[in-house]
Amino acid sequence: MRKNYFRFKFHISAILLFCSLHAVAQHENNLTATIDDETKEISIKQKFTYVNNSDTSHKELYFNDWNHSYSSKKTPLAKRFGEQFKKSLHLAKDDERGRTDIVSVVDSEYSGLKWERTKNLDIIRVELHEALAPGESITIFFTYNLKLPQNRFTPYGYNSDGGYYLKDWYLNPAVFDGDWKLYSNKNLEDNYTGLTNTTVSLIFPKKLFLTSNFKESRVTDISFAQQISLKATNGKNCEIILTNTKEFTKHVTSYLTVKTDLESKKYDGISQALSIEKVSKFIYDHLGEHPQKEVLVSEMDYNKSPLYGLNQLPSFVRPYQEQFQFEMMFLKTALNSFLKESLYLDPRQERWVSDAISNYLMIKYVEENYPKQKLIGKLSRIWGVRGFHLAKMDFNEQYYLLQMLSTRKNIDQALTTPNDSLIKFNQKIANRYKAGLGLAYLAEYIGEEKIDSSISSFFKKRALQPKTKARDFRDILEANTDKDISWFFEEYVGTRKRIDFKIKNVIKSEDSITLTIKNKRGTNVPISLFGLQKDSVVSKYWFSDIDTSRTFTIPRTTEDRLVLNYDQKIPEFNQRDNWKTLNGFFSSNKKLQFRFFKDTEDPYYTQVFYVPIANFNLYDGITPGLRIYNKTFLERQFVYDLSPTYSFLERTLVGKTSLRYRKYHGKGGHYVSNFSIGASTSHFQENSRFTTITPAMSFGWRPDDLISNKRQGLLFRHRSVFRNIDPNVLANNEADLDLENNPDYSVFNVRYFNVDNDIINFKSSLIDFQHSSEFTKASVELEYRKLYESNRQLNLRFYAGKFIRNKTNSDFFSYALDRPTDYLFDLGYLGRSEGSGIYSQQIIIAEGGFKSRFEDQFGSDWIATTNASFNIWRWIELYGDIGMIADRGESARFVYDSGIRLNLVTDYFELYFPLYSNKGWEIAQPDYGQSIRFIVTISPKTLTGLFTRKWF
């Protein structure tokens, strides 16, 4: 009986051991790869043993082939670049691209397996002869050649110095997690692959030095090359950096072995080693031992996710001490590598977990080691700068500032948004910072030690565990606290709801204070309340479960002010209304502060900014002045802007002013409404002034997918124009013969636009309706730009307009083939009344859009024109315009012109050289230089948009 018992126990143990081994069985991957330095190709023979660790049989397997994502202009990578206004991959030559040429795919019996590329091209589907049952494995042999891309599209591939950066370069298995996770390369650093025991035998040029995230054997010489074996157990992808000089050093610390090329020129090697030891200890204390023992911390990885901010400036204006900057660079890069190599979270669907941990630890590192570090570093001590609120902000306040930059623009996205659905600013900065701030917020609420122990426990339990989920992290956090923290996951992480509270009412008694806290946004999260005596904290409370508003009673001590979120640990949407004084109704909650230049938002003051400005037009000359406004770096709902300037040529005041209220409604659909009133005054000719007053309201629509560049808008405005005109202008004006009797007018204007601002296929439409006492007119404008696979670009524009009624006696309100009179004063003419000279050669594509100048260019009845251009070499294009224009009671006139366009920066800087038109060969006519036209944009706001559009 006892013998049978032990026999039974042995069988049970054997079964459990087998199940345990089966549960941790990993794929086996063996590669032999040879780099051809002349052709920039790698020939690969790969033996891959796939283990089916799921409970589903597989008739097919999928492998990521991200090197092939560079092969075409139609891959998801190319489309992603187009969304970000990057043409490099689209315009690349074939020999600059990367591709994978598969020679054969066979099984262990050397029987050919059928394979094909999915529609996204960078994922391969391999069809098996028989279904692979759960627990079974299959060995597949791949033979293929990689043509590496140049590194001008991404950091990967080969560079002009003869070096290589290889990442996600060979075939690796897609993850099956109930269904296949087929993620294409979109330059998001989120390749999702299974745990694999990998050995790479690499043959590479003799002149190069190799560094890898895998364990390296000794390099051996073979004829004209070098050979090395790289290995990893339970690893992801083999990352290889090949350089002409030995740039990486190995630091064996007490906690971690580090291979790095990060350095600071003004920070000596011994000090760098001490800093690496210090940072490694911090990581070890909070995460534990790295399961792979070694971590690669490269400058290339840092450059992909740098410390955004002032340290991007040239070295001679670097604001931080060398030690601090080096440690933060190393910490950020090491944490990212540490977590990426250890946690098998789905990086496309649940990246927020690793972002939260890494950024929380960065916040904690600064709090522990550099608590007095300021956001702008040494610049905060400079006279003239130190008075700014920006100079007083701590370094860790950058997380709130940059995350809120996205929120205030209404382009924020939930932390659970898939990585490939985030706009670039959120993917690179805002969502990462929001995740870290969220853990810091939670630490304030439940206790810092509980967050720290949860992070440590999560890492120890889930490191190198397949199919790790965000739910695993949540379970550990909830197990470590008695408080309800479901709000953190359901409200803070799972939605884009904003946090915004205010103190509504306060009733004082001798021994207590009763106050009502209003939840302005309905986001049910905890809020902190501080009692202040002068600037000292004398009490602190946490309140929760405030759906709309709740009344609380607290003991009264020595407080003279109550402040919500005083320590700003909570990423609150608006902190300006968090104050309530206890010193009487007429006591000021916040002081008025005048500040030179724009500053960050200071919730403790009512801020007014002023800055010198200077504008220019031909008639006023350079007009210096003072701009007074309340707009901070973060967008605000209500903005006022007064800009009085002085015209030295006219010896009088000119300028503009505006008041605007903007209301955001949601993520997509009707997402914004604007209500404004503006006024401006300037001169349109010598001693001739115009003044406009314009009340307006507008509404905007966009898709729920914020990456989409599609936008729609509807504008209603009523522009009143008042003119004081010099008698000499009246005598010489040909466009408006009725100026003397009717100098003033008003126009009610409705505009609807629909635009898809895509770099490959640009489409826009505009419908315009105008009504005044003298006329009613309507027009439509359509524009299309197409960048073909041959790298040729076609530009088409169609414009048509018709007077419904017209009682005017001049051409001032008529349609124009070229240089409209701009009676609404919308266009940025430098010299709007000029008929000759350089200022008259400025062109703004509006109405007819012609480039040649015709004597009879106006039409008082209708107009229909088409403008086209096509590039013949890079930015050199041929253009042509054709159309019909008619006056009242007269036959329509047929007009055309053609020439060469130098499209240096579309819509910003262009030159037009007319060749042939109704006037004949213009290039052969006298004074041809006066026929050349140009487009130039000098508006700082417009130029800034050219560089920020790829981020937002």
Average pLDDT of the chain to the nearest whole number: 91
Considering only residues 486 and 908, tell me which one the structure prediction assigns the higher pLDDT.
Answer: 486
Q: How distant is the alpha carbon of residue 621 from its chain centre? A: 38
Classify 597 as helix, strand or coil: coil
Q: Does residue 683 register a pLDDT over 60?
A: yes
446-457 pLDDT, tens digit per residue, is 999 999 999 999
**Per-residue pLDDT for 697 more than 60?**
yes
Q: Is the pLDDT of residue 26 over 90?
A: no
Instruction: Name the percent of the chain lying above pLDDT 90.
Output: 75
Q: Has residue 444 got a pLDDT over 90?
A: yes
Digit-coded pLDDT (tens) for 813-830:
999 999 999 999 999 888
Contact predicate 556/511, CB 8 Å? yes
How far is 389 from 111, CA to CA, in rounded Å?
71
**pLDDT category of residue 947 using cuts at 50, 70 and 90:** low
Give domain 501-589's CATH number out of 3.40.50.1370, 3.30.1300.10, 3.40.630.30, 2.60.40.10: 2.60.40.10
Cβ-Cβ contacts under 8 Å for 752 (sequence gap 6 or more): 712, 713, 714, 715, 766, 767
User: Checking DSSP bridges between strand 761-771 and strand 815-816, what pairing results, if any?
Assistant: unpaired
Tokens standing for residue 913 = 């050289």
Q: Lowest mean pLDDT of 116-125, 472-481, 495-504, 930-939, name the range.
A: 930-939
Looking at residue 102, its amino acid is: I
pLDDT in tens, 524-564: 999 999 999 988 999 999 999 999 999 999 999 899 889 99
Q: Provide CB contacts within 8 A for 177, sequence distance 6+.
A: 54, 346, 467
State residue 151's pLDDT score: 93
Q: Is the pLDDT of residue 937 over 80?
A: no
In angstroms, the first-to-last Cα distance of the chain is: 76
Q: pLDDT tier at 19 (50, 70, 90 boundaries)?
A: very low
Q: Exposed, middle or buried: residue 917 (CB in 10 Å: 0-12, 13-18, 19+)? A: buried
CA 868 to chain centre: 32
Beta bridge partners of 629: 609, 641
Among 57-61, 350-354, 588-592, 594-598, the least confident range: 588-592
> Residue 941's pLDDT band (boundaries 50, 70, 90)?
low
The DSSP output letter for 380 is: G
Beta strand 225-235 pairing with 215-216: antiparallel
* pLDDT value for 416: 97
pTM of the entire structure? 0.90
What's the 3-state SS for 903-937? EEECCCEEEEEEEEECCEEHHHCCCHHHHCEEEEC
Q: Strand 27-36 relative to strand 99-107: parallel, antiparallel, unpaired?
A: unpaired
Q: Is 859 left (phi over 0), alpha (psi -120 to 50) or beta?
A: beta
CA 848/CA 865 separation, integer angstroms: 6
What is the model's pLDDT at position 809? 87
Average pLDDT over every residue of 281-307: 92
Q: Chain-centre distance of CA 855, in angstroms? A: 48
pLDDT in tens, 589-642: 677 888 888 888 888 888 999 999 998 889 999 999 999 999 998 999 999 999
Share of the chain above pLDDT 70, in %: 93
pLDDT: which is higher, 941 or 399: 399
**pLDDT reported for residue 3:** 43
Q: What is the pLDDT of residue 904?
A: 84
Residue 14 has pLDDT above 80, yes or no: no
Higher pLDDT, 476 or 731: 476
Burial class, 284, CB count within 10 angstroms (exposed 0-12 / middle 13-18 / buried 19+): middle
Per-residue model confidence (pLDDT) at position 6: 39
DSSP code at position 70: G
pLDDT at 337 over 60: yes
pLDDT of residue 942: 63
pLDDT at 529: 95
Cα–Cα distance between 551 and 529 in angstroms, integer?
Answer: 13
Edge-to-edge strands, sheet with 249-252? 249-252, 257-260, 294-297
Question: Please, are residues 755 and 785 in contact by the beta-carbon 8 Å criterion?
Answer: no
Q: Give the whole-angstrom CA distance, residue 949 versus residue 952.
A: 5
Burial class (CB in 10 A: 0-12, 13-18, 19+), 436: buried
Enumerate residues 6+ apart whose C-beta is below 8 A from 290. Answer: 256, 338, 341, 342
Select the more confidently predicted residue: 1 or 681: 681
Task: Give tens-digit pLDDT for 147-182.
Answer: 999 999 999 999 999 999 999 999 999 999 999 999
Tell me, what's the pLDDT at 924?
92
Q: For 360-398, what is each residue's pLDDT tens digit?
A: 999 999 999 999 999 999 889 988 888 898 999 999 999
Written as one letter, the residue type at 434 is: K
Inform me whether the pLDDT recorded for 9 exceeds 80.
Answer: no
Instruction: Tell me how far apart the alpha carbons of residues 910 and 912 are, in angstroms, rounded to a whole number.
Output: 7
Separation of alpha carbons 654 and 647, rounded Å = 6
Confidence of residue 950 (pLDDT cuts 50, 70, 90): confident
